[in-house]
Structure 1
Amino acid sequence: MNTVQNNTVSPSLLAAMNPAGAATQSSAAAAQDTFMKLLVTQMKNQDPLNPLDNAQVTSQLAQLSTVTGIEKMNTTLQSLIGSYQSSQALQAAGMIGHGVLVVGSSLNLSNGRAPFGIDLAGAADNVKVTILDASGRPVRSMNLGSQPAGMLPLQWDGRTDSGAAAAGGQYSFTVSATQAGQKVSADSLAFGQVASVASGSQGVVLNVPGLGPVNLIDIRQIL
């Protein structure tokens, strides 16, 4: 029959298992020890004719408590940030292989299709998209007419204004929108496919070929 022993783990073993936590505790303990030594030395060498009053001692103890509390709070926040980033990375991993729309104006025409999108700040009665080649020359104008506010996924079929098939490769596009003759703010959204996910000091970053590293918070839509 197997038994489980409930032995007490020594502080030194705990420190070896968690060096970061041990270092933080050691730092906090050292600060408290130094403070108390200074306070005791101050009290021992105080002027008998002008001793420290209770208010002074209480004030210094309160300062120690504040400093210790801030240090513990910083440690707790760092732990929470690490947990949050790990959670974000796990969620972002589910986006691998999926298409995303992010702020950008690039287009990649492949096999006669080039997905992209726009994001309208308000409703517009006239929305126009102009697709440009690598030298900046217009090759296709798309009049989308009236559109509601919000994101609108789109796709270029690779045809020019003359009806000819454009060569595959990199293009760009611009968008203009008006409502009753007044300009409506509109963001261009580039399309890409998530290849991998990384987590670091900058938070969770998605690797999107053709667009480069993309922060998770910059994703406008998952397709």
Structure 2
Amino acid sequence: MALASINGLDSAVSNSKNGIAPAAGGGGVSDLRSEFLQMMVAQINNQDPLNPLDGTQYVTQLAQFSMVEGIEQMKMQAQQQATLLDTLQVLGSTSLMGKKVTVPVQSISLASAESLSGTIPVPAGTEQLSLEVYDQSGQRVHQQEWRNPAGDQDFSLAELPAGEYEFKVVASRKGESLSLSPHMARTVEKVSLPAGGGDIMLGLAGVGQMSLFQVTEFGQS
């Protein structure tokens, strides 16, 4: 049996490195290595005694398989760690139920009368900052302005009746207008993980679904 009969395994090793599964077996690198060892033993048993094969060829092939197997194991470990991290995030997020988190809010729906407060992150160099609040009919119910604000600005609104409200925040600097979102603390009512994967979603009172990664501050209930 000629040495060329096992050279086709080089392409199989290359395919394994590129994430292409072998055509048969279904066990990935482990099955491929087992198949190679069987072929190697058969080839040694059937080699020409007068023209023995070069053992370095086998050593090279085995080294390639060991490298590929090591890469596959590292990939599996990385996937397991990612799954564990996702699970820990979900378990940790359930502890947020009933607690308040601070998130950027552009609109809010109040089921009952409520006084609102929050903070506006102000970009450096802002010369003028304005906050306007509109009800569901488009009527402006609150307006507030700051001249040369230094740092983030807190705001508070008198009790608003139940309904839907929209916030419009504009920062002006060097003739440029920037639209901002006020940050407000809202109660977590639900924690969910999309069936297709993705960010952990928080159901926030009056705000709706929002990604956990949009939270800027965690507070108490």
Q: TM-score, normalised by structure 2?
A: 0.66
Distance 1:39 1:156, change over 3 A: farther
Instruction: Select 1:127's aligned residue among 126, 129, 147.
Output: 129
Shift of 1:219: 0.6
Name 1:177's counterpart in structure 2: 171
Secondary structure, aligned partner of 2:127:
strand
| Native 8 Å contact 2:130 2:169 kept in 1 | yes
Deviations 1:111-167 (A, max 9, x none): 2413444323325232101112224443322113343445x5533224xxxxxxx64
Q: Which runs of 5+ in 2 are unaligned?
A: 1-26
1:12-91 matches, cutoff 5 A: 29-41=30-42, 53-91=54-92
Given candidates 203, 206, 209, the residue that maps to 1:207 is 203
The aligned residue for residue 113 of structure 1 is: 115
Farther off after superposition, 168-177 or 53-62: 53-62
SS state at 1:130 partner: strand
CA deviations over 1:24-48 (Å, ceiling 9, x no partner): xx76543431232344456667788
CA shift at 1:190, angstroms?
Answer: 5.3
Q: Which residue identity lines up with residue 64 of structure 1 in the other structure?
A: F
**Aligned-partner Cα distance in 1 for 2:73–2:51:** 36
Give the match's secondary structure for 2:92: helix
- Provide the C-alpha distance between the structure 1 equivalents of 2:114 and 2:78, rounded to a whole number of angstroms: 50
CA drift at 1:78:
2.2
Instruction: Go from structure 1 to structure 2 and tell me whether the alpha carbon gap of 1:35 and 1:106 turns closer, same or farther (over 3 Å shift).
Output: farther
Indicate how the Cα distance of structure 1 residues 54 and 196 shifts in structure 2: closer, same or farther if over 3 A, else same: same
Alpha-carbon contact 1:124-1:149 (below 8 Å) kept: no
Matched residues in 2 for 1:35 and 1:76: separation? 25
* Aligned partner (choices 191, 206, 221) of residue 217 of structure 2: 221
For structure 1, the 5+ residue unaligned runs are 1-25, 159-165
Q: Is the 8 A contact 2:133 2:143 kept in 1?
A: yes
Cα distance per residue 1:76-122 (max 9 Å; x no partner): 11221232223323432332222223233012344241344432332
Counterpart contact for 1:194–1:207, Cα < 8 Å:
yes
2:113–2:161 CA contact under 8 A, matched in 1: no
Q: Compare 49-58 and 117-126 and name the one that shifted more.
A: 49-58
* Residue of structure 1 equivalent to 2:191: 197
Identity, in percent, stands at: 26
Residue 143 (1) aligns with residue 148 (2)? no
RMSD over equivalenced CA pairs, Å: 3.4
Amino acid corresponding to residue 129 of structure 2 in structure 1 = V
TM value normalised by structure 1 = 0.66
Q: Say which SS state the counterpart of residue 157 (structure 1) adopts.
A: strand
Letter in 2 for 1:33: S
Contact 1:116-1:153 at 8 Å conserved across structures: yes
CA distance in 2 between counterparts of 1:49 and 1:128 reads 93
Letter in 1 for 2:90: A
SS of equivalent residue, structure 1 residue 120: coil
Task: Give the distance between the partners of 1:136 and 1:36, measured in 2 at CA.
Answer: 77
Aligned length: 190
